[in-house]
Amino acid sequence: MLKKDNFIFGFIMGMLAPFVGFAVFKYTKLGPLNYFQALQYIFVQPGHRLLTVAISLSLMANAVLFTIYINARIDKTAKGIFWATLIYALTALSIKTFG
């Protein structure tokens, strides 16, 4: 199933993978907090420094997926992952700039 070459499949994977990356970040940096508390802490922190770190590490999950699919020459799926990453990155940039 992971060899499927489909844009929508890649987009869905690209939208879900950052949640795995965030879970890793949460457990390593904000272990005792639950997810709601961790998100509150990240968003109210002055300068959103932790938000930038959280987003960067979350998007690393997409970078890993993208690299795997590009190297396997499964291009449509890789394109879907790329577009999902782009949407996350633009959203993060907007939050960082205007939030």
Positive or negative, the CA dihedral 59, 90, 15, 54 is positive
User: What CA–CA distance (Å, rounded) separates 10 from 23?
Assistant: 20
Measured in degrees and rounded to the nearest 5, phi and psi for residue 61 equal -60, -40
Measured in degrees and rounded to the nearest 5, phi and psi for residue 25 equal -60, -45
Q: Which domain holds residue 51?
A: 7-98
User: What CA–CA distance (Å, rounded) separates 61 from 2?
Assistant: 15
Does a structural domain hold residue 61?
Answer: yes
- Domains identified in the chain, total number: 1
Does a structural domain hold residue 2?
Answer: no
Does a structural domain hold residue 55?
Answer: yes
Structure letter (DSSP) for residue 3: T
Helices (H) and strands (E) in the chain, counts: 4, 0
CB-based burial of residue 18 (10 Å sphere; 0-12 exposed, 13-18 middle, 19+ buried)?
A: buried
Residuewise pLDDT in 10s, the chain (99 residues): 567 899 999 999 999 999 999 999 999 989 899 999 998 888 887 767 788 788 888 899 999 999 999 999 999 999 999 999 999 989 888 877 886
Does a structural domain hold residue 91?
Answer: yes
Q: Is the pTM of this model over 0.95?
A: no
